[in-house]
Chains A and B, each alone.
Chain A
């Protein structure tokens, strides 16, 4: 809770201070213009300190910014002296992975002690204007840019230059721009490098992509490299919306970078980009394939239709009757259709197994991705007819 400030103590109208703070929500969205960090920046107001040892002041307004950065979270504390509302805020830089005794980014502060450096790197802080509503947003933006540069410089100053060489090579190869990368140096000279990949989503139908939360920053796809000396490993990082389209990260099955030096960073990044483009093209084409197939199926058995997915065209369910035995059939069409065949799940409406309706998955039937949709639908019906007797027997035996 904000402690009310006595008017006699405040030469600046209190509204201005309040405005600076209340910009936070919009400010975090605008922050999204810089950096590659993926996800949601959280800004929270901490309880006003009465004795803050860091700043030595009696009353401070404190804010915390939690910024996801590479595979860590930056914790930046912003302190305002409520007795001197015109003066610029102070910052404390921490990381979520800092231990109680070790703070990783103390060095960052030192780079700005030099007033010339401050003027160059953080003009909005050097010329702090407490009446400017966007002052704080600008400062944080400049800080982030400076922070990334700081990490890059730290990389260049490492004794073992193997990793630095790789990163510089990546930047010089023009595969990615400096604004597309973000790196962090950890204990033991381990460098985590996040490379943002540009993905063309223009052809992906809107229906497949749910809308993005206004406050959220989304990096669709990136690669996280872990580089220690000669060793290199990679991991594909997909945003939740991307996973909806391509499948979960663990299922996407892109090759990882080869461990020894055989594959350079730029080569690997190119490879991943190509594969991403291919997959997306497949998804775009896939929607129409799935739609056409399910339309044929519904055309054939529509009078027994229970429900069909008219958003992503991944499933149709029918209630069928054979020999006075009724059953449900779910036709599940994978996103990689027609390269992968649909799966049919037969479900009993009478019998249960472990308190759930008994169900049986089948994909053991002849299939070719080259068949036309109506032929696939015809064959589906034949397959269902052939299998139902087996299913009936199985469902009776189920416990």
Chain B
């Protein structure tokens, strides 16, 4: 992506601006999805609560789960058109920051918390706050850690279950909960298997609630013959073990634009957004764009 040269004089003029121009540059090159191969997504056939819930924008308590053992700089960073490189972790921090400030613009009532996924499991870093800068200031201090061979995901649910209190209502399709919880898991390890034991009680308890949502972005190295099978199997595990029918699930290689797009799609309120397969963001139908 960074190798290509701009094709028209219009595009040429924006090349030398801030590093953000790489976004628009790649946009001008056509469908970003074509540049990278995507993994196959396994569909979940469980019963769907989504239909029954009132489509009101109640307060969201969003738990961002940041992977500190993200693939390190050496193994292929995110590259921008002007040559800048960002490690995976720094790229994740950047999209989290954009996410938080955009979500706050949408509605100031939502709250955010930060958890970190690290060598020894998961920890709470910042508890719920409605001020994004509380999160971003702390997030800036978090450093990369080396990647273990496996990742025990049950501790994520254990830690979450310790802190949160899921709302209960008597009639789910009519009464409004005071708030809902959503986990946004940013898992960024190409060679580390996620493991969730079948007996994880906290995971079962949490996922049974209609007010608990789980979204995932899996960030991996660009796919090639060597790593494709591993990545696909990790992605399968993540989807089947962690995700729910209501989940939004994405996988991204090293395309910055695509990562921004995926995170932006996660701005959508779980009670109001369509199912992922039904979402359609195009302003114009395909044949008319341009």
Chain A residues proximal to chain B, CB less than 8 Å: 302-311, 315, 317, 319-326, 328, 330, 345, 347, 349-352, 356-357, 359, 381, 384-385, 388, 392, 396-397, 399
Q: Which residues of B contact A308 (CB under 8 A)?
A: 57, 272
Q: Which residues of A contact B267 (CB under 8 A)?
A: 306-307, 317, 319, 328
Closest to B20 in A: A351
- A306-B273, A320-B283, A328-B264 are contacts. A352–B57 as well, Cβ < 8 Å? no
Contact B57 A307 (CB under 8 A): yes
Interface string of B261-272 (1 = CB under 8 A from A): 101110111001
Q: State A322–B31 Cα separation when bound (angstroms).
A: 11
Q: State A321–B31 Cα separation when bound (angstroms).
A: 11
Which of A347, A357, A359 has the most B CB atoms < 10 Å from its CB?
Answer: A357
A346: min CB distance to chain B, Å: 11
Secondary structure at the A interface, as helix, strand, loop or mixed, is strand
Contact A304 B98 (CB under 8 A): no
B211: min CB distance to chain A, Å: 16
Q: Which residues of B contact A305 (CB under 8 A)?
A: 268, 272-274
Contact A324 B32 (CB under 8 A): yes
Which of A306, A345, A388 has the most B CB atoms < 10 Å from its CB?
Answer: A306
**Residue from the list B17, B269, B279 in contact with A396, Cβ < 8 A:** B17
Contact A357 B101 (CB under 8 A): yes
Closest to B95 in A: A349
Interface string of B67-90 (1 = CB under 8 A from A): 000000000000000000000000
State the 7 A-B residue pairs at the shortest beta-carbon distance, nearest first: A350-B23, A303-B280, A349-B264, A321-B281, A307-B269, A324-B27, A310-B56
A136: min CB distance to chain B, Å: 38
Chain B residues proximal to chain A, CB less than 8 Å: 14, 17-18, 20-21, 23-24, 27-28, 30-32, 55-57, 98, 101-102, 105-107, 257, 260-261, 263-265, 267-269, 272-274, 278-284, 289-290
Which of A315, A351, A381 has the most B CB atoms < 10 Å from its CB?
Answer: A351
Contact B106 A357 (CB under 8 A): no
Q: State A330–B102 Cα separation when bound (angstroms).
A: 11
- A304-B281, A350-B257, A350-B260 are contacts. A328–B102 as well, Cβ < 8 Å? yes
Q: Which residues of A contact B21 (CB under 8 A)?
A: 396
Q: Which residues of A contact B20 (CB under 8 A)?
A: 350-352, 396
Q: State A304–B265 Cα separation when bound (angstroms).
A: 9
Closest to A305 in B: B272
A129: min CB distance to chain B, Å: 46
- A321-B282, A323-B27, A350-B260 are contacts. A311–B268 as well, Cβ < 8 Å? no
Contact B105 A357 (CB under 8 A): yes
Subset of 11 A-B contacts with CB under 8 Å:
A302-B274, A306-B106, A307-B106, A307-B269, A308-B272, A309-B107, A320-B283, A347-B102, A350-B23, A357-B98, A396-B24
Q: State A302–B268 Cα separation when bound (angstroms).
A: 11
Q: Which residues of B contact A307 (CB under 8 A)?
A: 57, 106-107, 267-269, 272
Closest to B261 in A: A326
Beyond known contacts A305-B273, A384-B283: 20 more, CB 8 A cutoff = A302-B274, A305-B268, A307-B57, A307-B272, A309-B107, A310-B55, A311-B57, A319-B268, A321-B281, A322-B289, A328-B102, A328-B264, A330-B106, A347-B105, A349-B264, A350-B98, A357-B98, A381-B283, A385-B284, A397-B17
Q: Which residues of A contact B284 (CB under 8 A)?
A: 322, 385
Contact B102 A324 (CB under 8 A): no
Contact A385 B105 (CB under 8 A): no
Q: State A53–B30 Cα separation when bound (angstroms).
A: 87
B259: min CB distance to chain A, Å: 10
Q: Which residues of A contact B283 (CB under 8 A)?
A: 320-322, 381, 384-385, 388
- A302-B274, A307-B268, A392-B24 are contacts. A330–B281 as well, Cβ < 8 Å? no
**Residue from the list A303, A311, A322, A349 in contact with B261, Cβ < 8 A:** A349
A5: min CB distance to chain B, Å: 45
Q: Which residues of A contact B106 (CB under 8 A)?
A: 306-307, 315, 317, 330
Closest to B18 in A: A399
Q: Which residues of B contact A309 (CB under 8 A)?
A: 57, 107
Contact A324 B264 (CB under 8 A): no
Which of B264, B283, B289 has the most A CB atoms < 10 Å from its CB?
Answer: B283
A311: min CB distance to chain B, Å: 7
**Residue from the list B28, B107, B281 in contact with A326, Cβ < 8 A:** B281
Closest to B105 in A: A347
Q: Which residues of B contact A319 (CB under 8 A)?
A: 264-265, 267-268, 281
B41: min CB distance to chain A, Å: 19
**Residue from the list B32, B57, B280 in contact with A310, Cβ < 8 A:** B57
Q: State A326–B259 Cα separation when bound (angstroms).
A: 12
Q: State A321–B258 Cα separation when bound (angstroms).
A: 12
Q: State A118–B273 Cα separation when bound (angstroms).
A: 68
Q: State A357–B268 Cα separation when bound (angstroms).
A: 17
Closest to B279 in A: A303
Closest to B273 in A: A305
**Residue from the list B32, B102, B273, B278 in contact with A357, Cβ < 8 A:** B102
Closest to A359 in B: B105
Q: Which residues of A contact B289 (CB under 8 A)?
A: 322-323
Q: State A381–B285 Cα separation when bound (angstroms).
A: 13
A386: min CB distance to chain B, Å: 11
Q: State A303–B27 Cα separation when bound (angstroms).
A: 22
